[in-house]
Amino acid sequence: MNRTLTTLVTLGASAALMAGCSSSDTASSDDSADASSTTSTDSAVTGDITVFAAASLKATFTALGETFEAENPGTDVEFNFAGSSDLVTQLTQGAPADVFASADTNNMTKAVDGDLVDGDPANFATNTLTIVTAPGNPKNVTSFADLANPDVLTVICAPQVPCGNATKKVEDATGTTIPAVSEESAVTDVLGKVTSGQADAGLVYVTDAAGVGDQVTTVDFPESAEAVNTYPIAVLKSSENAATAAAFEALVTSDEGRRVLAEAGFAAP
């Protein structure tokens, strides 16, 4: 400012020094606040969560749970795997949980309508049905229509279970009625009846069939396209650890989650 008096120069220099110190103090304060905020966000992803998930997700979610715990030290993920309709019933009756992953949108809608869900559910996978038989397919099942033969002891899911609802859709679309010898509450129970020799055939998801390898013979059928199930996931309002629950949901819907699901045979939503 073209001031030449020594006194004013000295005063100006002092003011500049004080301003510099003040600016430095403010910056340090801001840095501390940022560091504190980052630490707070990081530390929020800790502690225990309970995930209620469809039975068909057992292998993939168990793997993702291990990944989540490894990436977030101090966390512990517990699972309750069952038929989606049974899980909704448990949640409605007050069972404590942090995350719900359904094998169809119908049961997630029940959870939303029951005011159990925090925010909007996110679709993360799709799945379709396939026929499984005893190894070698001794009853020579080659099509969906073959399951109408009462000599083929067939097990299916109950209608209220997603895999059972999908079975009903295919029956309606094809005009085929399966004289099932039992209706199970979870797709894993259907698979168990076939692998144990209690049934000749069963309708399960392609992912479940892939998971047991040569314990069954798989028979694909084109009519399965009539009933593709979409899987949604959501954080629950009852969660006492919402930050960690949201982080687990984020992993499931991430590229890493999609990779694990795809390797198991799930398709993208």
Rounded to 5 degrees, φ, ψ at 5 are -70, 130
- The residues with which 127 forms a beta bridge, in sequence order, are 229
Q: Does 40 show up as a binding residue in the annotation?
A: no
Nearest to 120 by CA among 136, 132, 108: 108
Nearest to 97 by CA among 139, 49, 138, 131: 49
Token representation of residue 27: 């910056």
Angle in degrees, 0-180, between the axes of helices 84-92 and 105-113, rounded to the nearest 10: 10
Q: Does 84 show up as a binding residue in the annotation?
A: yes
**How far, in Å, CA of 46 to CA of 175, rounded?**
52
The structure tokens 């083929």 sit at 152
Q: Answer for the pair 169, 196: CB distance below 8 angstroms, yes or no.
A: no
**How far, in Å, CA of 98 to CA of 117, rounded?**
10
Sign of CA dihedral 131, 154, 61, 127: positive
Question: Can you say whether residue 54 is alpha, beta or left, with left for phi > 0 and alpha for psi between -120 and 50 degrees?
Answer: beta
Q: Does 231 show up as a binding residue in the annotation?
A: no
**How far, in Å, CA of 218 to CA of 224, rounded?**
13
Q: Does 212 show up as a binding residue in the annotation?
A: no
Q: Answer for the pair 214, 135: CB distance below 8 angstroms, yes or no.
A: yes
Residues annotated within the binding site are 56, 84, 187, 205
Residues annotated within the binding site for molybdate are 56, 84, 187, 205
